Amino acid sequence: MFYDLLDLPWELMYKKWRPVLVEDVRGSVLEAGIGTGRNLRYYHHNVTLTALDLSAAMLKRAKKRAKDAACSVNFVCDDACLMKSIPSVRYDWIISTFLCCVMPEELQPLALAQFSRVLKPGGHFRLLEIIYSKTPALRKRQELFANFVEKVYGARFDRNTLHLVESAPRLKVTKTRFLKDDTYLLIEGIRTADD
């Protein structure tokens, strides 16, 4: 509840994007870093969703939101870098919103390796991240808030997630685009077949 209150000013913007992020998603889906479940109500009824988060408190809040979900949801408390409870080659989709920007950069390859492991060959991924702008005025504003954002949300604007995804074995980036300015980066791709 406290996190949702903190996130409220940004959620006014994010809630416009959430339906678009999952509107074409079908089949067996893993949302890594489900948080408090803000995406749940937008999943299609032809989705079987695994909602994964490291925080039991976040999952508790997400379970309440699941009452508004049209899809079936299985909640899993697990680390995205380990996914000990998730079998290999299981999912058609992985969705993640702002997971990597709150994850130390040295841990991101571990999470991406898990994404590759649990996605079926030909399975899709869609990651939304926030990065530093190249526009000087916007960059300066981000720098003013950077310490606050890191302290309160654990997020940083200087993560190199796109580069790490492009370097990850069996993950192929097929499309990138910004949802707002040059800061909210959507990374999309597929899991390639094993050699």
Contact partners, residue 127, CB within 8 Å, separation at least 6: 96, 97, 99, 100, 161, 165, 186, 187, 188
For residue 33, what are the domain limits?
2-191
Contact partners, residue 55, CB within 8 Å, separation at least 6: 35, 77
Q: How far is CA 103 from CA 25, 100, 110, 141, in A?
A: 25, 5, 10, 22
Write down the pLDDT at residue 2: 47
Tokens of 97: 């919103």
Q: Count the domains in the chain.
A: 1
φ/ψ of 121, rounded to 5, equals -55, 130
CATH code where residue 172 lies: 3.40.50.150
Write down the pLDDT at residue 12: 67
Write down the pLDDT at residue 164: 96
- 195 residues of the chain, pLDDT tens digit each: 445 555 656 666 778 889 999 999 999 999 999 999 999 999 999 999 999 999 999 999 999 999 999 999 999 999 999 999 999 999 999 999 999 999 988 999 999 999 999 999 999 999 999 999 999 999 999 999 899 888 887 889 999 999 999 999 999 999 999 999 999 999 999 999 976
For the question of whether the overall pTM of this predicted structure is more than 0.85, the answer is yes
